[in-house]
Amino acid sequence: MKMTQRVPLTWSDFSALRWSGIEKPASRIGKLKLQQYAEKHGFACPKVLGRFDSASKIKLDSVNADAFVLKTEGLWSSEGVYVLHKIMGLHLFYDVKSQRVVSEDQIIQAALELEAKRNKKITFFIEQRVIDEEAKNIIPLDYKLFTFYDRVEFILQVDRNYTPARFCFFDGQFNVIKDDRVQASSHASQPAAKPRVPECADQMLRLASDLTKKLKATFISVDCYATPDGAVLGELTHTPGGPWFQRMYYFSDSFELELGRYWRLAYQKLQQDIPLLTVPHE
């Protein structure tokens, strides 16, 4: 097939540059380094309470907290994540996600199986538990702010208190999207989440834009939580899979172009050259 190069136009075009490795953003830092970076630069972020270099080294009884989250470095979509509460005196844990009581041995075994599946050692770490601004939400609502250098233009709200998780959409100012700019995929059969504009919405928007500017990034999906103490940073995603794979939701053609314009504008603000995209010759 004959190939040619052209300027990227849409959000998916720019994303393809990252998925293919043509664009390698310097702002791509791991979850553990992000916590250090956030603390250094004054962005609220959950504290890391412990780290294990592989599944076999996980020791949960050593954690000095009654409630915490076990996470993985370098994986995504909540893979290998446990939201745990210690059951005092029993050396057992209640996992909020699966709603089961589990032992440390069971968690280690599942982690070993995950390493076998990935065919590599995985770093696990313990993170401070984040509490949602509404006590009824055992798992805090997750807000993914699509941020183009200094401006947020799309927000995905994810509610993992349901299985499968429910989601809904906002524009960059927390106005609910009700038109066809963003639509749930036919694969997503679950009901939509109830939209909730967090009390710390303005602070969350500032956090996402300030952090992305500080990192000099053209685009990042900034994950945030709304807590009783305000907006808290979760993690950074440089290649969001939701609208890319379109299994959860997808952008309309016009919204694809609109977000592509904001990505292109971010390059211009940073005075960076836009890489060319290789596509089949038409």
Question: Which of 111, 71, 86 is CA-nearest to residue 94?
Answer: 86
Name the DSSP letter for residue 146.
E
What integer pLDDT is reported at residue 282 of this predicted model? 64
Q: pLDDT tens digit string along 81-90?
A: 999 999 988 8
Question: Which of 233, 247, 234, 240 is CA-nearest to residue 219?
Answer: 240
Question: Which of 230, 172, 158, 175 is CA-nearest to residue 205?
Answer: 172
222: helix, strand or coil: strand
pTM for the model stands at 0.92
Name the DSSP letter for residue 56.
G
Write the burial class of residue 184 (CB in 10 Å: 0-12 exposed, 13-18 middle, 19+ buried).
middle
Q: pLDDT tens digit string along 136-176?
A: 999 999 999 999 999 999 999 999 999 889 999 999 999 99
Helix (H) or strand (E) holding 153: strand 151-159
The whole-angstrom separation of Cα 238 and Cα 215 is 12
Q: pLDDT tens digit string along 196-233?
A: 999 999 999 999 999 999 999 999 999 999 999 999 99
Reported confidence tier of residue 98, pLDDT bands at 50, 70, 90: confident
167: helix, strand or coil: strand
Query: Quick one: average pLDDT of 20-44?
Result: 91
The whole-angstrom separation of Cα 282 and Cα 269 is 32
The whole-angstrom separation of Cα 161 and Cα 115 is 27
Reported confidence tier of residue 3, pLDDT bands at 50, 70, 90: confident
Reported confidence tier of residue 75, pLDDT bands at 50, 70, 90: confident
What integer pLDDT is reported at residue 82 of this predicted model? 92
Name the DSSP letter for residue 234.
E
The whole-angstrom separation of Cα 4 and Cα 280 is 6
The whole-angstrom separation of Cα 225 and Cα 141 is 6
Q: pLDDT tens digit string along 115-132?
A: 999 999 999 999 999 999
Query: Taking a C-beta distance cutoff of 8 angstroms, is the pair 219, 207 a contact?
Result: no
The whole-angstrom separation of Cα 217 and Cα 209 is 10
The whole-angstrom separation of Cα 72 and Cα 66 is 20
